[in-house]
Structure 1
Amino acid sequence: MAHVVPADPQAVVTVKKKAQPSRSWVLLDSMGETTVLDVDKYAIMHRVNIHARDLRILDPLLSYPSTILGRDGAIVLNLEHIKAIITCEEVLLRDPSDEYVVPVVQELQRRLPPVNAFRRGQDYTGGQNDVDAGDEDESPFEFRALEVALESICSFLAARTLELETAAYPALDELTSQISSRNLDRVRKLKSAMTRLTARVQKVRDELEQLLDDDDDMADLYLSRKLAGASPVSGSGAANWYPASPTIGSKISRASRASIATVRGDENDVEELEMLLEAYFMQIDGTLNKLTTLREYIDDTEDYINIQLDNHRNQLIQLELFLSSGTVCLSICSLVAGLFGMNIPYTWNTNHGYMFKWVVLVTGLLCSVLFILIMSYARFKGLVGS
């Protein structure tokens, strides 16, 4: 008799976790060191302590608008190709092998290490006051990482805008000089690209504007301040999430100063972050203004082309009026010729051969006078140009 062996619950859990698709991430610590991680979303959620709905924003298979979210211990960043999670001491960046992400990783490696990191190691024994003074002037780690991301995305969109301008303005000028199917199709593709790029720039601009309008949202991005307010001296909370590093002492020092600032009522001071966001908001707004100017130039070109087409259409209508008037006059001549060309015996047709030339001359003269009268009337009514 066969027996059913129950499955091991731990094995089931392992199988389920293995069934989850692995995602490629790159981890950059506070010293700029990189580590490539090939883990699933549950490992990322456990590492940075965020919810699945926040991590879903970074899924490249889903279409989410540009977003900057502040959570308890992390900043969730979704700006075009930059999909990152920023904590107090590390940055997790998705798809590090992407051609647009590689320069971001390189810039993070260059900018994330603190300026006084080497001095901190050299003068630790005899210059603790100098280290503290250097920490005062140093921006928090999360702001340095956020600045790199904003600078990268603003530069990326500005470069795409410059490429579009370089291709669009000559194409529009060529279209105004020669209206052809090839030039029209070229401008149509450029306009479609401009519309898509404008939407992308507008999303980033709206996100920065929304963030600047809400001080509470900006305060949520102060991760170091929130870490300091959550009993930093004990180290029980921070030790679970952040590995030990040479900068942990300076972090505790900065956290202590941040807690003092909190007691003084400076926890709502977001001036540093506001200045940072305003700088890149102005940059992305300038990019949007360039695209708006390009759109206006395209609209002006379309108006000019429509005016040219209307002018050609009016010329065709005038030509049609000339031809129609001439056809009416020739029809009268044909009528007279038809009447006199009938093979019917008339008494006045005998011995009056000289009448042929007079009939032709008079008929032609009357038709010419009629044509002139019709054209004069059309010109008087403004139906034809002067």
Structure 2
Amino acid sequence: MAREIYLVPIEASLKKKTAVTTNWISIDADGQGEILDVDKYAIMRRVQIHARDLRILDPLLSYPSTILGREKVVVLNLEHIKAIITADEVLLRDPLDDNVIPIVAELKRRLPQYNLTSQGQGEEEENPGLRNDMDTGEENEFPFEFRALEVALEAICSFLDARTRELETDTYPALDELTSMISSRNLDRVRKLKSAMTRLTNRVQKVRDELEQLLDDDDDMADLYLSRKLAGASSPVSGSGAPNWYPSSPTIGSKISRTSRASAVTVHEDNDVEELEMLLEAYFMQIDSTLNKLTTLREYIDDTEDYINIQLDNHRNQLIQLELFLSSGTVCLSIYSLVAAIFGMNIPYTWKEGHGYMFKWVVILTGILCASTFTFIISYARHKGLVGS
């Protein structure tokens, strides 16, 4: 009987799979957050970023700490902080992570730039001197991207400094305990702490190198001025001929008229990065201080290792001295045993007859010879510095 064959049609499961979605949170200039469960292509379309730049934020890929300035965004990859900063919003990856939740709360608290114009209108009429103070305050306010960058830098510096303090708290007592008692348990504990310190030092060093690279290149710092570039694209020249670097965005749109007057008085150059440079220098000094703590800790570990090696060398020398004493004693006893063995043989000697007292004197003289030989060996070793005095 012929066997029936059933053909199973190919289902739609072989179609192209959709991209894996990722949790992001969008925080705008008012501090309002919105959870986004979208794929990378939606993020690329939202902020107009290239795939190679977005790949830097992939946690599955081991990219070093990076701060990149692009045409309309700043790509931030600092340890667990993976963010995309635009002129009016911050996109933060994995907002439910334990290390990211405090950063989200801090961004919501510090990003809003409250409009002081409406609050000060009535006060200006009563006290005209407040007008100059408000104008000065507006000039000193950071753009949106700098406020977001400052929160990220403060968070990563505080995070690494906290890990350093925890490591110091665990390492110094362990080293002191190892110094007082050398054991396999204490050695293994210090080895694990040293490995953790090496990993933490590499992480701190990467963040420090990235900040140092930014500070050394004014063009890279100028790329981080998103508000300046946005204002230059919309209205590059103000009424007095001075560049107006402040955008008409939700961040500071309510203050555009007052900011325009302030920028008309103070002329900014394209390469004026003093504001950002002071911001980066402050956190560079902080991360450099953390690196100095780790360097001091490493030196303390190295000093402890040197002390342990000196102790082990001292014990080794004591064992060598003991071995020299035992070897010298063994040689002397061998001489004594040889004489005793010769006289203990049952061989007839004519000179033994009638001279029984000779055995006693041979034993005494042999003992004196062996003791003299032992004393001579030890004295010679001390004279040459082979054993301690």
Q: TM-score, length-normalised on structure 2?
A: 0.87
CA distance in 1, matches of 2:192, 2:93: 31
**SS of equivalent to 2:91:** strand
Q: Aligned-pair distance for 1:249?
A: 3.7
Match of 1:250 among 249, 255, 268: 255
Asked if structure 2 preserves the Cα contact closer than 8 Å seen for 1:228 and 1:255, the reply is no
Q: Distance in 2 between matches of 1:261 and 1:142?
A: 23
Aligned match of 1:310: 313
CA contact (8 A) 2:75 2:85 kept: yes
2:89 partner amino acid: E
| 2:193 pairs with 1:163 | no
SS at match of 2:270: coil
Cα deviation for residue 248 of structure 1 reads: 3.0
Q: Which residue of 1 aligns with 2:102?
A: 103
Q: Which amino acid aligns with 1:383?
A: L
User: Counterpart in 2 of 1:5?
Assistant: none
Gaps in structure 2 of 5+ consecutive residues: 1-13, 126-130, 237-246
Aligned partner of 2:147 in structure 1 is 144
> Which residue in the other structure is 2:333 paired with?
330
Q: The residue matched to 1:57 in structure 2 has which SS?
A: helix
Secondary structure of the residue that 1:25 maps to in structure 2?
Answer: strand
Shift of 1:353: 1.5
Task: Check the 8 A contact 2:205/2:291 in 1, yes or no.
Answer: yes
**1:198-236 deviations in Å (ceiling 9; x for gaps):** 000000000000000000000000110000110249xxx
| Distance in 1 separating the partners of 2:251 and 2:219 | 32
Matches within 5 A, 1:38-57: 38-57=37-56
Contact 1:75 1:85 (8 Å CA) reproduced: yes
Provide the secondary structure at the position in 2 that maps to 1:280. Answer: helix
**Aligned: 1:363 with 2:362:** no
**Alignment: residue pair count:** 361
Say if 2:358 is the partner of 1:352: no
CA distance in 2, matches of 1:341, 1:252: 122
| Distance in 1 between residues matched to 2:213 and 2:109, nearest whole Å | 30
The one-letter code of the counterpart of 2:144 is: F
The 3 A distance-change label for structure 1 pair 286 and 136 is same
**8 Å Cα contact 2:167/2:197 also seen in 1:** yes
Looking at structure 1, the residues matched to 40 and 261 of structure 2 have their Cα atoms a distance apart, in angstroms, of: 33
Separation in structure 2 between the aligned mates of residue 341 and residue 166 of structure 1, nearest angstrom: 71
Q: Residue 230 of structure 1: SS of its match in structure 2?
A: helix
Q: Does the residue aligned with 1:151 lie in a helix, a strand or coil?
A: helix
Letter in 1 for 2:94: D
User: What is the correspondence of 1:207-356 to structure 2 with a 5 Å cutoff?
Assistant: 207-232=210-235, 245=250, 247-250=252-255, 254=259, 264=267, 266-356=269-359
The corresponding residue for 1:3 is: none
- Is the alpha carbon distance of 1:112 and 1:268 closer, same or farther for their aligned partners in structure 2, counting shifts above 3 Å? same
Equivalent position of 1:59 in the other structure: 58
Q: In the alignment, residue 78 of structure 1 is paired with which amino acid?
A: N
Q: Hey, what does 2:90 align to over in structure 1?
A: 91
Query: TM-score normalised to the size of structure 1?
Result: 0.88
Distance 1:93 1:28 in 2: 8
- Once the two structures are overlaid, the 10-residue window that deviates more, 157-166 or 340-349, is 340-349
Residue identity in the other structure for 1:54: D
Q: CA deviation at 1:253?
A: 6.3
CA RMSD, aligned part only?
2.5
Identify the residue that residue 34 of structure 1 maps to in structure 2. Answer: 33
User: Aligned partners of 1:316, 1:370: CA distance in 2, in Å?
Assistant: 22
2:88 touches 2:251 (CA, 8 Å); kept in 1?
Answer: no
Counterpart residue identity of residue 85, structure 2: I
Shift of 1:356: 1.7
User: Is the Cα contact below 8 Å between 1:28 and 1:34 reproduced in 2?
Assistant: yes
CA distance in 2, matches of 1:275, 1:323: 71
- Cα deviation, residue 351, structure 1: 2.2
Shift of 1:349: 1.6
Ranges in structure 1 where 5+ consecutive residues have no aligned partner: 1-11, 234-241
Instruction: Specify whether residues 331 and 255 from structure 1 end up closer, same or farther in structure 2 by C-alpha distance, changes over 3 A only.
Output: farther
1:321-371 deviation per Cα after TM superposition (whole angstroms, max 9, x unaligned) = 000000000000010011101111111122222112111111000000010
Residues 1:291 and 1:367: Cα distance change in structure 2 (over 3 Å): same
Larger mean Cα displacement after TM superposition, 302-311 or 344-353:
344-353
Partner of 1:8: none
- Confirm whether residue 180 of structure 1 aligns to residue 179 of structure 2: no
Partner SS state of residue 57, structure 2: coil
Instruction: Please tell me whether the aligned partners of residues 329 and 371 of structure 1 are also in contact (alpha carbons under 8 angstroms).
Output: yes
Equivalent pairs: percent with the same residue?
A: 72
